[in-house]
Amino acid sequence: MAVMPDQHVRPDWAGPVARILIVDDSVVARAVIARMIDQGRGYEVAAAVSDVHMALAFLAQEKVDVILLDIELPGIDGLTALPDIIAAGGGAKVLVVSSACDEGAAVTVQALALGAVDTLVKPNNGSMIGGFATSLERKLQRLTQSGEPAPQPQRQAPSLAAGDEFDIVAIGASTGGIHALSHVLRALPPSFQVPILITQHLPESFMPYFAAQVAILAGRPCDVATDHMRIRPGRAILAPGDAHLRCTRLAEGGAALRLLRTPASSGCMPSVDPMLASAAEIFGARTLAIMLSGMGRDGAEGAAKVAAAGGCVIVQDQASSVIWGMPGAVARAGNASAILPPDEIGRVVAAQRRPA
């Protein structure tokens, strides 16, 4: 293997050190980002390379914890290479750092769907200071923080209170959740008609493209929710980035959604809690709630109400989660009917049926 350029080591930190690989074709960007990392505590730059081939060669021989990947690279671009980078990383978390990740950019949702854990807009070389350094530090802290011990996994398929029938699937997710969601949705057959509600922590400007991605993955129409939108069989509905979903009964029968913009106890906008709590109120034991990868505790209160109503709550397991905050909070509270990886969650959901 060729000698890797731009290598850095942190000899001044006695605690656990997270190893970072930088993949960026700009010499200036590599140097500036490496200097930012070196100024932090608990990180070291394992290598800084200029293209995908060098990154894969390095990962074939070395382990890292986080990979900072640019999209615009010579030869193979970062988005095309992302699945190979993830595989070669052997569990390393990929943070896409690119000027291509502008607010609402399609490439951002594509990268997250392919398995990147997060994205960060890279400013031009003349302004890579201040806010960018703070954002990079915050994201690295989040991606390298130690999680709490997991409870004993419950890998059995859950049994629903109403046999194998339910009326609504409500899914909550945040960091790392889009990739997990893609695995769940791909398992659903075209005949699956139970309505699906999704609250994913994303800005409002990302939602139209995210809805298009979900429609492809789930093989069914997907809408960004509007106020008073009816909940219909065979469709998926997303919480908009600026409002929570709340289920409500219709006088003529059926159910619809109201949009709430009041602050949630979790501090998240949109929040998973109102969606799950209202689903439990309207659909009771025929509610299937799913909690995927994400930071914090959003959804824990709503999941408790689903469990209290006799519904079923499935959470993503710790091993497959980028951050086991949201699913872990539900599991530690004792409200998880099962703890499973996304592929198995998808199979469990696909095996259910809507009552006639």
Give the C-alpha separation, 94 to 110, whole Å: 13
In this structure, what token pair is assigned to residue 243? Answer: 């409002």
Place of tokens 């003529």: 252
332-to-112, 153, 235, 337 alpha-carbon distances in Å: 27, 11, 32, 12
Give the C-alpha separation, 232 to 243, whole Å: 20
Picking from 200, 202, 193, 263, the residue whose alpha carbon sits closest to that of residue 221 is 193
Give the C-alpha separation, 138 to 38, whole Å: 14
What is the three-class DSSP state of 112? helix
Give the C-alpha separation, 212 to 220, whole Å: 10
Q: Spot the catalytic one: 118, 273, 298, 317.
A: 298
98 is known as an active-site residue: no
Residue 17 contacts residue 44 (beta carbons within 8 Å): yes
What is the three-class DSSP state of 25? coil
Q: Spot the catalytic one: 50, 98, 174, 278.
A: 174
Q: Spot the catalytic one: 8, 179, 183, 201.
A: 201
* b/e code 242-254 from CB counts within 10 Å (16+ = b): ebbbbbeeeeeee
DSSP labels for 201-270?
A: ---GGGHHHHHHHHHHHHTS-EEE--TT-B--TT-EEEPPTT-EEEEEE-TTSSEEEEEE-SPPTT--SS
201 is known as an active-site residue: yes
205 is known as an active-site residue: no
- Give catalytic residues, as residue numbers: 174, 201, 298
